[in-house]
Amino acid sequence: MFELGGHPLILRPEEMQLSRGESVRDTAYILSRHVAAIGIRTGSDALVAELAEHASVPVINMLTADHHPCQALADLQTMKEEFGHLEGLKLAYVGDGNNVARSLAIVGALAGVEVAVAAPEGFQLEPVAGAQLTDDPYVAVKGANVVYTDVWVSMNDAPETAQARRLALAPYRIDDALLAAAAPGAIALHCLPAHPGEEITDAVLYGERQRIWDQGENRRHAQKALLELLTGG
């Protein structure tokens, strides 16, 4: 916001009237009187949809349990920088079929990117946006220009749940062998924060074939473009 010449207003849950019983509708009405756009990170997609229904300014889903579209925009920017185009590329996501995987499938389809998602039973996406779904990471990465992953365990997972997730997802780690099975010149991406040795090896995370740190920087640039587009700048 500062780089675009604007002023960010950061409201945490305990600073919102929502936490004291105000309706989402009323919150949308009042925020719309003070800001040019609303970005929200929350758990419920329904809350974001209700906020957007009643707001008179753009509402940006910055992260929910089911979607992470802003991350996907930064991912596409990184791919465009690397390959010079998006149409016809293939991205293979390996690991937990979560909100990041779902948004990659949806946004990738809009950009002409083929998306394959490899995940074990119980962790796979529902059919979405024509994405190829498989339980075999080597099938997913065949011909892929990008091999992508996310963490297996979040801060909210109980210890026993975390261990079960690690065991189930261990075959889906991005390592040199998996990356070598992708297309020549393939790159590794990760939405961060990473847990080296779990979903990605140190050799890949810090190696020459990743563009993860460019990807992390592009989260800032992609969202500047999104804000400019939505606010008519």
**Residue 208 confidence (pLDDT) above 80:** yes
What is the arithmetic mean of pLDDT over 205-223? 98
Return the SS3 of 199: coil
pLDDT, one tens digit per residue, over 144-198 is 999 999 999 986 788 889 999 999 999 999 999 999 999 999 999 999 999 999 9
- How high is the pLDDT of residue 19? 83
pLDDT tens for residues 5-26?
999 999 998 899 888 899 999 9
66 carries an active-site annotation: no
Q: Is 68 a catalytic residue?
A: yes
Among 100, 174, 110, 101, residue whose Cα is nearest residue 137 = 174
**Residues 180, 203 contacting (CB under 8 angstroms):** no
Given the residues 77, 96, 173, 191, the one annotated as active site: 191
- Whole-number average pLDDT of the chain: 96
Condensed to tens digits (0 to 9), the pLDDT of residues 24-43 reads: 999 999 999 999 999 999 99
Identify the DSSP state of 197. T
Listed in sequence order, the DSSP H helices in 59-113 are: 69-83, 99-110
Domains of the chain, start order = 13-65 (3.40.50.1370), 69-217 (3.40.50.1370)
How far, rounded to the nearest angstrom, does the alpha carbon of residue 126 sit from its chain's CA centroid? 17
pLDDT in tens, 113-122: 999 999 999 9
Strands 132-134 and 146-149, bridge-based pairing: unpaired
Q: 111 falls in which pLDDT band (50, 70, 90)?
A: very high
Catalytic residue selected from 67, 165, 173, 219: 219
Preceding omega of 159 cis (within 30 degrees of 0):
no
Whole-angstrom distance, CA of residue 184 vs CA of residue 172 = 20
- The pLDDT assigned to 233 comes to 63
Q: Out of 67, 70, 71, 96, pick the active-site residue.
A: 71
Of the residues 25, 41, 85, 220, only one is catalytic, namely 41
Sign of CA pseudo-dihedral 13, 156, 59, 73: positive
User: Is residue 191 among the annotated active site residues?
Assistant: yes
Q: Is-catalytic flag, 71? A: yes
Catalytic residue among 67, 70, 96, 150: 150
Question: CA 77, CA 68: separation in Å to the nearest integer?
Answer: 15
> Which CA distances in Å does 103 have to 75, 107, 145, 191?
11, 6, 18, 12
Residue range 102-123: mean pLDDT, rounded: 98
**Active-site residue, from 67, 68, 190, 211:** 68
